[in-house]
Amino acid sequence: MDNTVCKKIDTVVFDFDGTVMNTNNVIFKSWQHTFNRIRGRDGDIEYIRATLGEPLEYSMRKTFPEVPLEESIRIYRDYHRDRFPDMIELFPGIEELLAALKAGGYRTGLATSRLRQTTYQGLGKYDLFRFFDEVITVEDVSRAKPDPEMLLTMLDRLHSEPETSVMVGDTKLDIGCANNAGVTSVLVGWSEALAGKTREDFTGNEVPDHIVGSPAELLEIVG
């Protein structure tokens, strides 16, 4: 972890998939279902892993150019929607972290590239709405991560400044979004998309300010 100390942090914004909620299983299975329906075989795991965090429309368009975009999205989402509630779980320590942040008076937000319906479904299942002051999904903005629109919109709603805010995520898109917005970027060490990476593995605007190995470590950065 980078030992640079962040001062006067008052706002913490989280990504959803792969950061707060372990949705990896349902995402991978939804992708394999789509590959089998369209191509009659499983997809390459590393290829699927590389799509984590991308807007679904973008991933489907580049992966299955041979079928109409609406068809590939429908196949994926029909499978995903029906299984989502039973195949997700909180990452260990996340609920305790969120409770500690709220108790400490931090402003908190959730900024996700996921659709509103399943985002709310996941938050509701684990009673997480009480921990977030604002929730923004891909349906609330016109430009996806790493464009800073989603994060800047969140900060505006929270009446927060980039210099006193932290964005926590699990993909290069999250880190790029934070860096583009002038917000301290934190990569989670339990990331499926970037498992085992260190700061030296990143370049340019994708270098995270910090990498945390556990939710509790985030408190050391914002405290």
Catalytic residue list: 15
Amino acid, single-letter form, for residue 121: Q
Q: In whole angstroms, what is the distance from residue 136 CA to residue 119 CA?
A: 9
For the chain, the distance separating the N- and C-terminal CA atoms, rounded to the nearest angstrom, is 15
Q: Contact 77/201 with Cβ under 8 angstroms?
A: no
Q: In this structure, how many other beta carbons lie within 10 angstroms of the beta carbon of residue 30?
A: 24
